[in-house]
Amino acid sequence: MTSALRIVNGRIYDPAHGVDGAVRDLCISGGRIVADVPPDARRIDARGMVVMPGGVDIHCHIAGPKVNLARKVQPEDHRHDVHLRTRVTRSGTGGTVPSTFTTGYRYAALGYTAAMEAAVTPLGARHTLEEFHDTPVIDKGFYVLMGNNVLMYRLLQEGRHEEFRQTLAWWMSATKAYAPKLVNPGGDEFWKGQRNSNVTGLDQQIAGFDLTPRKVIAAFIEAGNELGLPHPVHIHCNNLGHTGNYQTTLDTMRIAEGRRAHITHIQFHSYGSVAGKSGDNPTSKAHEISEYVNTHPNISADVGAVMFGRSTSMTADAPLAYMLRRFGGGKWVNADTEHESGCGIVPFTYQDRNYTNALQWAIGLELFLLSDDPWRMVFSTDHPNGGSFMSYPRLIRLLMDSEFRKEQMAKVNQQALEHSGLRDCASREYSLSEIAIITRAGPARLLGLTGKGHLGVGADADVTIYEEDADKEKMFSTPRCVIKDGEPVIEDHEFRAEHEGRVFHVAPDYDPGIEQVIEPFFEDYYTIRFANYPVADRYIPHPQTVPTAPQAAEAGAVPAT
Ligand SMILES: [Zn+2]
């Protein structure tokens, strides 16, 4: 049990409760926000400072087999960026793909207290959870790759919808995942079956199956909604990075037909073309994409902004990695995980003078600046794909400071700016409250994490205190104080304590009879026996099982608003 704390004199930003910079006390006891604490409780004076809930990253790549492959392929990054140990923290390495310990410390040092790993093969669940155990301070969870799963395809093709839903529930439970993830659905069968081949449209027949990406996406959206998962199906659309792909993105969002769906790193899916030809340079279709999201409250998205400099593309979209590796001409990795998913890793550098890179940068900013509802268009760089999470403070400054944005715009490829609408949104500046929404309150709400992203009584006491500064990059780079579960982990910009975060997962109910459908497939095709496949409870020392809607209703919980 942590001791009681009273934070005084700070300006509070708690958009979930309409608190927009009011100076008031914030009380903490037993790891939670409380209404009051005894007068002798320890005080933290936050005069001249901004108090926000801890940051919540809805989409990043921080743990598991593909992340580790990306570390192994870039040993030079480790040498150039050594993270020294301190009295309370352990050593590690940085670069675009930091080691486990460094990942936890550096997220915390930016004021983040939760991050969701966005793409794990079911077979990679154990590895991911083992790395989570080594990733300190922050809470974590992962999305499990289901969109190219051969058994799921077979059930869907045979019209066995109830078994499809049961199998999804089983897989989520067996791997201790948080949400189902679709990546380029249908693409893996082409990639595996024909040289350098990929799916190109939602209505194309998937190689070897009487199915289309459209049917696969619709089935997962339906099943995810029926199961009442706290976060809906998390979709990386087809045709990522291709000129003209915005039509595919619009069509994918239309498939949801009013049901909840989350479109991830939507910047990479917002490209048009000058003459309507796929061979042309891309142009920005941020306006069309924003308009659709703005007017469809069932859809949420994270931006996946691009920041200039080093990045590492790591994706379950293996054909995309093949395409990207042509640009850099350096090291790359491609891999496949049994019947579950593909994977590709490509170290990459975004350059401000490069037309396509500058356009991607501009589209990311446009999507933020055109958004009418910050609760549904939330913050991400798809770390480390569009840029490292270490670039978040700079991205915040680009959103909050139009003069700074103009200076940066002057340095990039001007032809790319001509083909974007960024100059048309020059005057908008995000407020601190809007930043609090896109970086914490919004992601927490989209994830269904009712204890995160706000400072109401009963919330987890994850609190970040920033010193106010006109330079927003500086302000968000080094919080003065970070409190995790009620414990001051960082004070006066220094780590004062180690902390082990929780792992969020779901355990949707399923009919145990479904195992008789799944087991024969394992015995026929998998390298691992069925009985050895589900992840045991001991892999998560600090679990938090987040209920599905039916489970919450049964427990009499008040639904999240
Ligand atoms: Zn991603």
Distance 304 CA to ligand 1 centre (A): 8
**Token pair belonging to 85:** 């140990």
Residue 78 pLDDT > 70: yes
Q: What is the pLDDT of residue 147?
A: 95
What DSSP line would sit under 424-441, residue for residue?
A: GGTT----HHHHHIIIII
Distance 193 CA to ligand 1 centre (A): 24
User: What's the mean pLDDT in 42-63?
Assistant: 98
Residue 188 pLDDT > 70: yes
pLDDT digits (tens, 9 = 90+) for 189-210: 888 877 778 888 999 999 999 9
| Helix ranges restricted to H, 309-387 | 318-328, 355-369
pLDDT digits (tens, 9 = 90+) for 417-435: 999 999 999 899 999 999 9
Distance 113 CA to ligand 1 centre (A): 19
Distance 384 CA to ligand 1 centre (A): 8
Distance 377 CA to ligand 1 centre (A): 16
Q: What is the pLDDT of residue 278?
A: 61
Distance 140 CA to ligand 1 centre (A): 15
Distance 421 CA to ligand 1 centre (A): 25
Band (pLDDT 50/70/90 cuts) for residue 493 is: very high
Residues with CB under 5 A from ligand 1 (ion): 118, 382
Q: What is the pLDDT of residue 537?
A: 94
Q: What is the pLDDT of residue 276?
A: 62
Distance 348 CA to ligand 1 centre (A): 15
Gap between the Cα atoms of 99 and 68, Å rounded = 8
Distance 240 CA to ligand 1 centre (A): 11
Residue 247 burial by Cβ neighbours in a 10 Å radius (0-12, 13-18, 19+)? middle
**Token pair belonging to 135:** 């990733």
Distance 502 CA to ligand 1 centre (A): 21
pLDDT digits (tens, 9 = 90+) for 383-392: 999 999 999 9
Nearest C-alpha neighbor of 435 from the set 386, 495, 368, 527: 368
Q: What is the pLDDT of residue 328?
A: 73
Distance 321 CA to ligand 1 centre (A): 13
Residue 462 pLDDT > 90: yes
Gap between the Cα atoms of 387 and 304, Å rounded = 9
Band (pLDDT 50/70/90 cuts) for residue 334 is: confident
Distance 261 CA to ligand 1 centre (A): 16
Enumerate residues 6+ apart whose C-beta is below 8 A from 520: none
Distance 71 CA to ligand 1 centre (A): 16
Gap between the Cα atoms of 389 and 108, Å rounded = 11
pLDDT digits (tens, 9 = 90+) for 221-265: 999 999 999 999 999 999 999 999 999 999 999 999 999 999 999
Q: What is the pLDDT of residue 277?
A: 64
Decide which of 555 and 558 is more confident. Answer: 555
What DSSP line would sit under 478-534, residue for residue?
A: S-SEEEETTEEEEETTEE-------EEE------GGGHHHHHHHHHHH-SS-GGG-S
Distance 120 CA to ligand 1 centre (A): 10
Distance 473 CA to ligand 1 centre (A): 24
Distance 236 CA to ligand 1 centre (A): 8
pLDDT digits (tens, 9 = 90+) for 259-299: 999 999 999 999 998 876 666 789 999 999 999 999 999 99
Distance of CA 103 to the CA centre of its chain: 15
User: What's the mean pLDDT in 89-113?
Assistant: 97
Half-sphere exposure for 276 (CA within 13 Å, toward CB): 0
Distance 155 CA to ligand 1 centre (A): 27
Distance 333 CA to ligand 1 centre (A): 16
Q: Are 223 and 198 in contact (CB under 8 A)?
A: no
Gap between the Cα atoms of 191 and 196, Å rounded = 6
Helix (H), strand (E) at residue 139:
strand 139-145
pLDDT-wise least confident of 37-51, 271-285, 351-365, 468-482 = 271-285
Distance 276 CA to ligand 1 centre (A): 27
Distance 119 CA to ligand 1 centre (A): 7
Q: Are 317 and 396 in contact (CB under 8 A)?
A: no
Q: What is the pLDDT of residue 195?
A: 76
pLDDT digits (tens, 9 = 90+) for 472-491: 999 999 999 999 999 999 99
Gap between the Cα atoms of 122 and 345, Å rounded = 18
Distance 78 CA to ligand 1 centre (A): 22
Band (pLDDT 50/70/90 cuts) for residue 559 is: low
> Phi, psi (5° rounding) for residue 35?
-75, -35
Enumerate residues 6+ apart whose C-beta is below 8 A from 526: 338, 339, 533
pLDDT digits (tens, 9 = 90+) for 299-332: 999 999 999 999 999 888 888 888 888 887 788 8
Gap between the Cα atoms of 10 and 26, Å rounded = 9
In the predicted model, what is the mean pLDDT of the chain? 95
Q: What is the pLDDT of residue 338?
A: 78
Helix (H), strand (E) at residue 207:
none
Q: What is the pLDDT of residue 189?
A: 84
Residue 561 pLDDT > 70: no
Distance 379 CA to ligand 1 centre (A): 13
